[in-house]
Amino acid sequence: MLELTLAGIGSRFAAAIIDTAIQTAIVLALGIAIALTGVSGVAAAIATLAVFATFFAYDIAFETRASGRTPGKRWTGLRVVKVDGRPVDFRSSAVRNLLRIVDALPGIYLVAIITVFVSKRNQRLGDLAAGTLVVREKRGEVATTPFRAATALSAEVETWDASAVTAADVAAVRQFLERRSGLEPDVRARLATSLARRLYPAVVGPPEEVAPEWFLEQLIAIKTARTA
C-alpha cells in the first residue's frame, strides 16, 4: 500500500465540518434562487434533485475526479484510497458515500464513530463495504522524483501483452516509482514486491524470475509506449 498514515476521528470530523458547510451554502443559494424565481411544481422537483445531488454526488464527484479529496479533505490533508493503495473509483466511492445513511445513524454519526474506533484500519461501515481507507498525506516528508519511462524497449519487453493492466494500476505503479527514492529500503522493497506480485499475472510474456522494480519500470514503459 502506498498511503502514509490512517486518518483518525478528529481529522475526519474536521474535514466533514468543512464539506458540510460548503454543501449547506450551496443548498441555501439554490433555495434563494428558486424562491426568487417563484415556487412551482417544477421548481420544487428541481430543488429536491439539487439537494440530493449536493449531499450525495458532492463526495463522489470530488473523490473520483480529485484524487480522493473533497475540499474538506484537501484542507485537512486527507484523501480516500482503496485498501491496496490504488485511487478510488466511481463504484467504491458511490458505495462508501451511499452508506453514509447508515453511518449517520442515529443522526450524529454514532455508527460511524463506533465503527472507526473498533475497526483495525479506522474504517466506517461505508469504507468496509467499499474497500476504502481515509489516509493522511504527509506533505513534504517523502521525496518524489519524476519517472520517465524508457523510450526504447528491448525486443523481449516489446512482446509483452499488458492490456489487462488498468489505468488505476498504472497510476499506482507510477506513484511508487516517483516516490521510491524517499522510502526506507525495506519499505521500498516490500512495496515493489507487493505491486509486482499483484500485476505479474496480468502481463503475458515476462520471464518467470524478474526483479520487482525492473518489472514495474518495464511495465510503465510498455504501457506508455502503447498509449502515446
Name the residue among 97, 94, 66, 63 with its Cα closest to residue 80.
63
Is the pLDDT confidence value at 72 over 60? yes
Mean pLDDT for 97-107 is: 84
At 94, is the pLDDT very low, low, confident or very high (cuts 50, 70, 90)? very high
pLDDT number for residue 113: 83
87 DSSP 8-state letter: B
Is the pLDDT confidence value at 95 over 90? yes
Question: Of 10-19, 77-86, 141-150, which range is least confident?
Answer: 141-150
Cell of 138: 504527509
pTM for the full model? 0.56
- Model confidence pLDDT, tens digit, residues 163-172: 998 888 888 8
Q: Where are the domains of the chain?
A: 5-136, 155-227
Which residue matches cell numbers 506533505? 139
> 80 forms bridges with which residues in the sheet?
134
At 139, is the pLDDT very low, low, confident or very high (cuts 50, 70, 90)? low
Mean pLDDT for 182-206 is: 86
- Average pLDDT of the chain to the nearest whole number: 82
CB 127 within 8 A of CB 160: no
Is the pLDDT confidence value at 142 over 60? no
CB 87 within 8 A of CB 109: no
